[in-house]
Amino acid sequence: MKKSVLFFGALLIIVLGYYFLNNKKDNSQEQVAQEKTQVTEEKVINVGVLQLLSHPALDSIYKGMVEELARQGYEDGKNIKIDLQNAQGEQSNLALMSEKLVSEKNDILVGITTPATLSLANATKDIPIIMAGITYPVEAGLIASEEKPGNNITGVSDRTPIKQQLELMKEIIPNLKKIGLLYTSSEDNSIKQIEEAKKYAAELGLEVKLASIANSNDIQQVTESLASEVEAIFVPIDNTIASAMSTVVKVTDKFKIGVFPSADTMVADGGVLGLGVDQYQIGVETAKVIVDVINGKKPADTPIVLANEGVIYLNEAKAKELGIEIPATIKEKAQIVK
């Protein structure tokens, strides 16, 4: 009898011990699973993007950014969530959307164009802001210097080599004497580019005729007046004109003169030739800066990236249509766009 009691007692201890250890193991596994879930949730980065308007150039920047983020291991909807807000060219929308992106506590904000970035900068001094294709960030009042921004803003500049662009125009049109400079008076980056263009044009012995628009409603009338007085038109990186390039080209075709813009998409939309930057590549470089910030870099100490290699974009069909002969030395270096 005594032996039986001892036997059952020992058996009970073994069963209880097994149950306890197994339960502890299950709890431990559950805890590990919960911790893994928590870590996964913590890895989701919220990125708010503010775009000035819909246009192939700006859309290309956004596309390059999203695709490069995916290549870097940050796929939208998985470990990163991207909220794109498009102001469709309305200043009031920029302000409202900036406040929305800030109030939703995004981890990083991205401004596509100067107006969009300025609006974000007015909405927050704390959340990191990445500029995507800002031509003159210092002059726009966004940062202290391109080497050391000094605040919550860094990113990519799309500044183009304007002097070389004008030199190319002279090479393509040897007898060129008078050029038109078409820009938007309300875009700070355009004004700064035009100041540079005036200076370099004078150095090259070119006479300049300025023409500015207040908004897209002015484009046809202003372009007609300008085209009647010049032999070619230069257009800087200008969001308003880029969005209505077809209107500009319709007018200049009538006067049989070429438009020489500073972006590949504007060349594709009817420009003859441009020495500009690859808009998609600006997006790629923007994504790289976003990843740097995710990994701990502070915008205040992160230098601005200059995406201004000066790629020659040529619309060969448009040049032929206007009777403009492109020298072989230029053609062999150019990227043909259609």
Helix, strand or coil for residue 236?
Answer: coil
Token output for 10 = 């020992």
Q: Which residues are 182's β-sheet partners?
A: 211
Q: What are the Cα distances from residue 130, in Å, to 7, 139, 150?
A: 73, 17, 13
Assigned token pair, 118: 């300025």
Q: SS3 for 301?
A: helix
Going by C-alpha positions, the residue among 101, 150, 133, 143 that lies closest to residue 287 is 133
97 touches 50 (CB < 8 A): yes
Nearest-angstrom CA–CA distance, 322 and 318: 6
Name residue 212's beta-bridge partners: 183
pLDDT at 52 over 90: yes
**Residue 160: predicted pLDDT:** 83
What pLDDT band is residue 288 in, cutting at 50, 70 and 90?
very high
Residue 35 has pLDDT above 50, yes or no: no
Q: Under a CB-based contact definition with an 8 Å cutoff, are residues 143 and 154 in contact?
A: yes
Convert the pLDDT of each residue in 70-108 to its tens digit.
999 999 999 999 999 999 989 899 999 999 999 999 999
Report the Cα–Cα distance between both ends of the chain, in Å, rounded.
Answer: 100
Confidence of residue 153 (pLDDT cuts 50, 70, 90): very high
What's at 268, amino acid-wise?
A
Average pLDDT over residues 143-159: 96
Cα separations in angstroms, 326 against 171, 175, 272, 315, 317:
9, 14, 10, 10, 11
Q: What residues contact residue 303 under an 8 Å CB cut-off, 6+ apart?
A: 146, 147, 148, 149, 154
pLDDT recorded at residue 40: 41
**What's the pLDDT at 292?**
98
More confident position, 38 or 251 = 251
- 134 within 8 A of 111, measured Cβ to Cβ: yes
Answer with the residue of higher pLDDT: 37 or 132.
132
DSSP secondary structure, 197-210, as one string: HHHHHHHTT-EEEE
Least confident of 26-35, 120-129, 178-187, 326-335: 26-35
Secondary structure (3-state) at 226: helix
Q: Compute how many other C-beta atoms are within 10 angstroms of the C-beta atom of residue 18.
A: 10
Of 278 and 20, the structure prediction assigns the larger pLDDT to: 278
Confidence check: pLDDT of 23 > 90: no
pTM: predicted TM-score of the whole model, two decimal places = 0.74
Please give the order of strands across the beta sheet that includes 45-51: 80-86, 45-51, 108-112, 129-132, 153-157, 305-306
- For residue 231, give Cα distances in angstroms to 113, 177, 178, 238, 245: 30, 7, 6, 21, 18
Q: Each residue of 85-115: b (16+ CB within 10 Å) or e?
A: bbbebeeebbeebbeebbeeebbbbbbbbbb
Read off the pLDDT band of 189 (50, 70, 90): confident
* pLDDT, the chain, mean: 89
Residues 56, 265 contacting (CB under 8 angstroms): yes
State the DSSP code for 277: B
Predicted confidence at residue 37, as pLDDT, reads 40
